[in-house]
Structure 1
């Protein structure tokens, strides 16, 4: 018999993360394209990122026919995914437009979510993404994703990649609170496996 699951964070009720989630505003609209096989993953950080950002949306699938209209409607759009022409994100100009009462544009950041193989499938399956300028992160601090191993030395969780990118695009905003449920999730996983197993396989 399955345990009751929180309908919001999708964690088992005793491990609900909602108390850690305090949605933050952003000028940038974030759309996470989550591979179908990632939905029921115990460490679903793409979902946590969307829950932690007011101006965000989670789309699940592999092909997304509505992307074309979404990208066309945005004044600027980027794909957060590595590639030969990918560049580090740059701070948005006109950060004080809101304070001055001027109309503020809402750029779009599209983020494929899944393993590297699944994320590449999403990019390949949606030709409209091929023409977007790509942004990627240059190194930085090691990932806090202490319970998952990867062959990519600079790999970070989806929620970390989003927070780091937004922090560069919008340096006047503090997005650290978005990581709070992620930190709690990792602590839960370490507690569940016990200190000896964690030290042996992950420390």
Structure 2
């Protein structure tokens, strides 16, 4: 028998997050390019961004043919959040960064494992139209229920929350509270010794 799913948040009824969802009136439009494999993962946070952000678009796919939206984005004022030697570091505050952030209208995020995100990059040449942005210092990962292979890995929600704080001084606290609620809901029925493996640093 399939488990009952909440019609709004699409989590199971016992892990429903509707009471924790918020609305953030962000100015920068977030474009999430999600690898199809992520749609099956209950712990994925991209859909939470889609629920919580006033300006957010979530699209599943792997290549240019799936991401027609890229043709409509203004290249000069759109950035791709992706680590690169030439990336503009959003947390290195200077006159150039401030001016760039002030003009930014869209931020593109790749949602998937590092391997899947790299695959999207290879199959989507249109992404090269945009300047890359990243962080010089990655904040502490608060999303401990999904183990990542790299110490500097952030969930999509954390990456966007930190970006919005740096780009438009958006108060991202409510987003982190939604993430905390997800952590709590997903671990609520775990035995204490199992829960400890996920929630302890």
TM over 0.5: same fold?
yes
Aligned residue among 158, 178, 181 for 1:181: 178
Aligned to 1:192, the other structure's residue is in SS state coil
**Count of aligned residue pairs for this structure pair:** 192
2:77 maps to 1:79: no
Counterpart in 1 of 2:119?
Answer: 121
Deviations 1:141-189 (A, max 9, x none): 3100112222311111110000000100011x31221222221111122
TM-score by length of 1: 0.85
Deviation at 1:80, TM superposition (A): 0.6
Q: CA RMSD in A?
A: 2.1
Deviation at 1:106, TM superposition (A): 6.5
Unaligned runs of 5+ in 2: 91-96
2:10 maps to 1:14: no
Aligned to 2:43, the other structure's residue is in SS state coil
Aligned to 1:59, the other structure's residue is in SS state strand
Q: Which residues of 2 match residues 91-130 of structure 1 at below 5 A?
A: 91=98, 107-130=105-128
Aligned to 1:111, the other structure's residue is in SS state strand
TM-score by length of 2: 0.86
Check 1:47–1:94 CA distance in 2 against 1; reply closer, same or farther (3 A cut).
closer
Deviation at 1:93, TM superposition (A): 7.2
In 1, distance between residues paired with 2:53 and 2:42?
20
Unaligned runs of 5+ in 1: 96-104
Larger helix share, 1 or 2: 2
